[in-house]
Homo-oligomer: A and B are copies of this chain.
């Protein structure tokens, strides 16, 4: 049965789920959520996900939310992009938690404020504060990639997809991959995987559609 991913292009968290589906060769199709017109706040959507967020993955009777849970589920279901032992699975989960809290959880907010909020609602102090936090987190990723080709195991896993997800977006969010040589090389290696696509090529909806 074809899995359905409720998503929209601007969501890095949706991209992490979609890229996991794409790179694992799963059978899936996107369902567009019109987030910028309240599509994640309707009663029907809240009934599906009380958190009011994409991504939501539907696999028959199973309804999953939170990109990390969806990634873990797809990896278990397909046997791809996951760890080969309990220790590797814990290491993968470790980097996904780090990402959700320190990378995506910060980069997403900066990018939203710098690109999708009206200019009069942007706050330079908030952007500067969050940019400092993002830089600290990315320095840790850069240091980890000094020692390893992939973040959490000897091959690409859902941890790499999680941490890199937001970094593939073209809009400014105080990140320039050329400042991080290891991250730059690692992003190239991810983008070289069969099935990889950039966010707005993999997901429906983009800023161009709203221009």
Contacts and interface: CB of A to CB of B under 8 A. Distances in A.
Contacts of A133: 109
Interface string A82-125: 00000100100110011011101100010000000000000101
Given A62-B87, A129-B123, A72 B93 contact: yes
Given A97-B69, A101-B105, A126-B125, A64 B90 contact: yes
A106 to B, nearest CB: 9
Interface in A50-77: 50-52, 62, 64-69, 72-73
Given A66-B98, A97-B68, A105-B105, A73 B90 contact: yes
Given A52-B140, A90-B73, A126-B126, A97 B66 contact: yes
A73 B89 CA distance: 11
A102 B50 CA distance: 14
Q: How many copies does the complex hold?
A: 2
Contact of A100 (B52, B69, B101, B129): B101
The size bracket of the interface on A is: 20 to 34
A18 B133 CA distance: 26
Contacts of A94: 64-66, 69
A174 interface: no
A51 B90 contact: no
A68 B99 CA distance: 12
A189 interface: no
A139 to B, nearest CB: 10
Contacts of A90: 64, 69, 72-73
| 10 closest residue pairs by CB, A with B | A66-B97, A125-B125, A101-B105, A66-B94, A126-B129, A68-B97, A100-B101, A69-B94, A69-B93, A123-B125
Interface of A: 50-52, 62, 64-69, 72-73, 87, 90, 93-94, 97-98, 100-102, 104-105, 109, 123, 125-126, 129, 133, 140, 143-144
